[in-house]
Structure 1
Amino acid sequence: MFQHLQINAQNHAIDSLKLALKNAKHDTTRCNILSILAETASDEEWPAFNEQLKVLAEKNIANNSEPKKLYLKHLADALNYIGYLAGNQGDIPKALEYYHKSLKIYEEIGDKEGIALSLNNIGGIYSNQGDIPKALEYYHKSLKIREEIGDKLGIATSLNNIGFIYQAQGDISKALEYYRKSLKIYEEIRDKQGIALSLNNIGGTYSNQGDIPKGLEYYHKSLKIQEEIRDKLGIARSLNNIANLNLKKGQVKEALVFAKKGMQTAKELGYPENIKHSAYTLNQIFQKQNKYKEAFEMYELEIKMRDSINNQETQKAAIKKQIQYTYEKQEEVAKAEHKKELEKQQALAEEKNTRQNIIIGSVAMGLLLVLIFAGYVFKTLKATRKQKTLIEHKNKEIEEKQKEILDSIQYARRIQMAQIPSEKRVLVMINKLKKSG
């Protein structure tokens, strides 16, 4: 009953957002609403809202509309969501392309939360590709920024992801350490989707240790929460995990029930990664039942999904994107240094002109004084040799000063020459919109 009421409340909130979008008069308001809908709407709807957000943000950026930073932020968010969708659909080159585009804009506007998100997502791609060192590098970069800005949800996500890497490497104690840290934070902030994810990962760690009862306990806890919040991606994962452990226990019929449910959910989502895992599990079950035709069909499906996710072109694209991103960053630094150097040279040239003007003025004044003084001497005819020597000495000083100034200018020149949120969160978002509107 509570679940039904919660779903209705969330649907009502989304309907309210759709109505607000229809009545919105300004593009800033439309972008704010579309951004929330892209994050909160169903799997069937959110990509369309995200595309609208992207188009609207790009239009306003092209028109140089204010506030430009806000539109850049919305564009970066939209690009990040496109990368997420592409990754789940198995199009890894596209996912990397859009994650890097998103990262570049976040860095341009100084959005640390966005930077951390993009770094985390790129780390996820490398993790799926089996490039563990690269994945850990990006995950730790993301975690560091999230700790700096106090982003608890982000910290929990990063801890979970790092735990998964250690689990894949077989470092069970390290994996459990990170998963439990993550679970604690998710519980503090009451993030049900995060709690379910951590429980699922802890179950997987126990499963890898051969502790099947403990593994099943955590998988069922995770599945229960995922069903409450209608997390289809999580449901597909948990169903498949439970099927695998039942198969290990020798409970083939029960394993088949969970595996079929898992495959059905995976196909509804259309995500190759989940379909691949479900196909593998069903292949193992059908072999146990001596159903070799069905087993072979599942094997073919598994290979097809695996090839769409992890192939040579994909790995090359990942390397290419990394090189391209590094090059662009270096180019930006080089341009900034070049601009700085030009500004220094311009300042130096202006300083030189100023000093030259001073020198010319000084020389002219000196010559004028000399002429006046000489005229005075010739007029009075009272100049002595001592006075003549004094005049010559003064002229020598002027010349020396000119030389010192010119030498200092030349020396200076040489020196100058580098995921679905809770209903409560949706309502909070709506209230923020109302206040800003």
Structure 2
Amino acid sequence: MNFRPFEAIVILCLTLLTIPMVNAQPQPEGSTTGVDDLCRKAEQKLFTHPDSAFVLAQDALRTAEREHYAMGIANSHRIVGEIFYHQGFYYEALNHLQKAETFFESENRETQRAQNLNQLGLVYYNIRQPDVALARHREALKIYEDTKDLSGMAYTYGCLGRLYEKKQRYPEALDFQHKALAHYEKVNDIRGTSTILENIGSIYEDLEKFDTASHYFQRSLHLNELTRDSLSMIVNLNNLADVYRKTGKNEPAITYSTQALKLARRLNDKYQVTSAYKDLSKVYSQAGLYEEAYQSLEKGRTLYEEIYGEETRRQVALLQTLFELERKNGEIQVLESDRQLNSVTKVSLIAGIVLLALLAAAIISRQRLKIRQDKEVIERKESQQKLMQAELENAHLHERQLQHELENKSKSLTAHTLHIISKNKMMEDIRAKLHDTLQEEAKEQRKKITNLVKLIDHNFVQDKDWDDFRSIFEQVHQNFFEQLQKISSDITASDARLAALIRLNLPSKDIATILGISPDSLRISRYRLRKKLKLNAGDSLTNFILGI
């Protein structure tokens, strides 16, 4: 076969490219120990500095892939998945955790695989696939049972218990939590025991068995005091305050919430400080201390805005780190391409001085084209990055605007509700005084005062404030009344008012005052509403309406 000169040169170049090159490829840097150290450092920074943890995990992943270190690859993917999970990027978390699952399974590392399966279960629950989440937790439990890992079994039982609690299947939830408690007590894990006691207390609180819930919360608090776990103590105190508030014991509720607030301030834990302010606002409102309730609500709202801003900045920082890594990876690829081209040039020189000029011209031409293409790729990536950053900032701005509008509407709804309560209490006082007067005045006066009482009674029912209240309520709780009508077409306007006030989680005393009826009449109204909603004897009307 005859070749033209240029074809011969190309074939010779391709032949030279296939010759094994000594020292052409970079030697692996670091070791498996280095990968493990990077993973440990990333885990230490996972919650405090997620952007730094992400960089360390990515470095560990690249090194592990270069060294073909399967366990390093698996652990790196798992850590990256957990970072994305805690930042709310669930589908990215799912992608990395599934990759980790593949490597753990291929390496037959059952303990690490079970841990990863539990994390996958948490991710699947958050993307609204509870059945898949349940399957992952059960698979993890099977591994721990086969390996007789009591601590792993206890943790997985706790995960299963929380999953069934979210599904409101409380008997199964309690069964799993008690199994977890027994295993933690068997291995003498105080922290695990206190966590499960807290979980069991929460289930009994949902079941409105407040004395039992308080018992478990107190046991959990005692263990956390022994281990000086201040963060868990805050959760215990807030839950105890909630139980006392729901049972109408305002003074101990205020005491526990105040203790939780002081401890959260000392730890500078803004999430828990916000939670304590929220609980204080509820109990102050229940106790009729509306000024203190409003102040606590305002302080909590202000702090929530700070937390939201910090969360947004952390997420933006993580995305920025991701974009920077993408850009640097592109630059590294360009440098590696350049290094390979230089190696080819050296090998080509060995072929002979005769081909030097032609080979140099071909390599230079190819190198220029490669650099130009890489430059265009980098410019496109930078342009896409700027566009994505602008879209991200616009999305966050829109989200903050929506959050601000919702908070304003919630504040307006709260103020409007308090106004109705105050007005109706005043009307009750007037009506009571008029009834007293009826016992003493003359017949003519009795007639006039009786008409006045009827007018006040009419005002309770036909007050225009209800129209304003419904308008504001529908802005905050959209489609609530439509959903109510879909559940039962027999719902009347009075039933809708009662359901709306229950949705606001108001005490029965305040609901009776707003509706202008007695507590006995309120109980009858609640009973009629339960029948229309077709609730079973053991179902909670409040929990049902809060779930609409």
TM-score for the superposition, normalised by structure 1: 0.53
Unaligned runs of 5+ in 2: 1-43, 312-398, 400-405, 421-467, 487-548
CA contact (8 A) 2:110 2:143 kept: no
Q: Are 1:99 and 1:121, in contact at CA under 8 Å, matched by a contact in 2?
A: no
1:222 equivalenced with 2:260 (yes/no): yes
Alignment partner, residue 15 of structure 1: 52
2:417 to 280, 283, 287: 287
Secondary structure, counterpart of 1:18 in structure 2: helix
1:27-42 to 2 correspondences below 5 Å: 27-33=70-76, 35=78
Kindly report which structure 2 residues correspond to 1:133-172, keeping only aligned pairs within 5 A, or say none.
Answer: 133-172=171-210
TM superposition shift of 1:101: 1.5
Q: Is 2:93 the partner of 1:57?
A: no
The match for 1:85 is: 126
Alpha-carbon deviations, 1:43-93, whole Å to 9, x = none?
4267477435413223325xx53243255234313313314534xxxx3xx
2: CA distance between counterparts of 1:57 and 1:210?
A: 50
Which residue does the alignment assign to 2:109?
A: 68
Which is further off, 172-181 or 52-61? 52-61
C-alpha separation between the residues in 2 aligned to 1:125 and 1:55?
A: 21
* Structure 2 residue 476 is the aligned partner of structure 1 residue 298: yes
In 2, the alpha carbon distance for the partners of 1:8 and 1:147 equals: 30
Equivalent residue number for residue 178 of structure 1: 216
Paired residue type of 1:131: R
Other-structure match for 2:324: none
Shift in Å at residue 37 of structure 1? 6.1
| Conserved? CA contact 1:164–1:175, under 8 Å | yes
Give the corresponding residue for 2:384: none
2:242 maps to which of 198, 201, 204: 204
| Distance in 1 between residues matched to 2:163 and 2:481, nearest whole Å | 19
Q: CA deviation at 1:280?
A: 8.6
Contact in 1 for aligned 2:115/2:140 (Cα 8 Å) = no
CA RMSD of aligned residues (A): 4.4
1:162 Cα deviation from its structure 2 partner: 1.5
Q: Which amino acid aligns with 1:136?
A: L
- Identify unmatched segments of 5+ residues in structure 1: 1-6, 271-275, 308-437
C-alpha contact 1:279 1:301 (8 A) present in aligned 2: no
Count residues in correspondence.
287
For 1:220 and 1:46, locate their aligned partners in 2 and report how far apart those are by CA, in whole Å.
Answer: 35
2:478 is paired with a residue of what secondary structure?
helix
Helix, strand or coil at the partner of 2:122: helix
Which residue matches 1:319?
none
Shift of 1:114: 3.5
* Residue equivalent to 1:123: 161
Q: 1:28 to 1:121 in 2, by over 3 A?
A: same
Contact 2:77–2:97 (8 Å) recurs in 1: no
Partner of 1:143, secondary structure, is helix
The letter of the residue matching 2:161 is: G
Provide the residue aligned with 2:137 in structure 1: 102
**Alpha-carbon spacing, 1:66–1:125, altered in 2? closer, same or farther (3 Å):** closer
Aligned to 2:318: none
Which residue is equivalent to 1:404? none
Q: Which residue of 2 aligns with 1:249?
A: 287
1:184 to partner: Cα distance? 1.8
1:32 & 1:85 partners in 2: Cα distance? 22
Task: Report if the CA contact (8 A) 1:27-1:56 is conserved.
Answer: no
In 2 relative to 1, CA 68–199 (structure 1 residues): closer, same or farther, beyond 3 Å? same
1:381-417 per-residue CA deviation (whole Å, 9 max, x = no partner) reads: xxxxxxxxxxxxxxxxxxxxxxxxxxxxxxxxxxxxx
Partner of 1:329: none
CA contact 1:17–1:33 (8 Å) conserved in 2: no
Q: Deviations over 1:280-326 (max 9, x none)?
A: 9974553113562434423437789999xxxxxxxxxxxxxxxxxxx
Could you tell me which residue of structure 2 aligns to residue 368 of structure 1?
none
Shift of 1:225: 4.2
Higher relative contact order structure (alpha carbons within 8 Å, sequence separation ≥ 6): 1
- In structure 2, what is the equivalent of residue 362 of structure 1? none
Change (3 A) 1:11 1:71: closer
Alpha-carbon offset, residue 159 of structure 1? 0.7
Query: How high is the TM-score relative to the length of structure 2?
Result: 0.44
2: CA distance between counterparts of 1:12 and 1:213?
40
Q: 1:137 to 1:303 in 2, by over 3 A?
A: farther
Kindly indicate whether the alpha-carbon contact (under 8 Å) linking 1:116 and 1:146 is maintained by their aligned counterparts in 2.
Answer: yes
What is the Cα deviation at residue 219 of structure 1?
1.8
TM-superposed deviation, 1:203:
0.9
**SS of structure 2 residue aligned to 1:289:** helix
Partners of 1:166 and 1:151 in 2: CA distance: 23
Amino acid at match of 1:105: A
Change (3 A) 1:128 1:41: closer
- Counterpart secondary structure, 1:300: coil
For residues 286 and 39 of structure 1, the distance between their equivalents in structure 2, rounded to whole angstroms, comes to: 43
Q: CA deviation at 1:250?
A: 2.5
1:194 Cα deviation after fit = 1.4
Asked if the contact 1:143–1:159 (Cα under 8 Å) also holds between the matched residues in 2, the reply is yes
Worse-matched range after superposition: 213-222 or 20-29 = 20-29
C-alpha separation in 1, matches of 2:218 and 2:56: 41
SS in 1 for 2:107: coil
Amino acid at match of 1:76: L
Between the aligned residues of both structures, percent identity stands at 18
Distance 1:256 1:304 in 2: 31
Q: Distance in 1 between matches of 2:302 and 2:135?
A: 32
Cα distance in 1, alignment partners of residues 181 and 409 from structure 2: 34
Measured at CA, do residues 191 and 207 of structure 1 come closer, stay the same or move farther in structure 2, by a change above 3 Å?
A: same
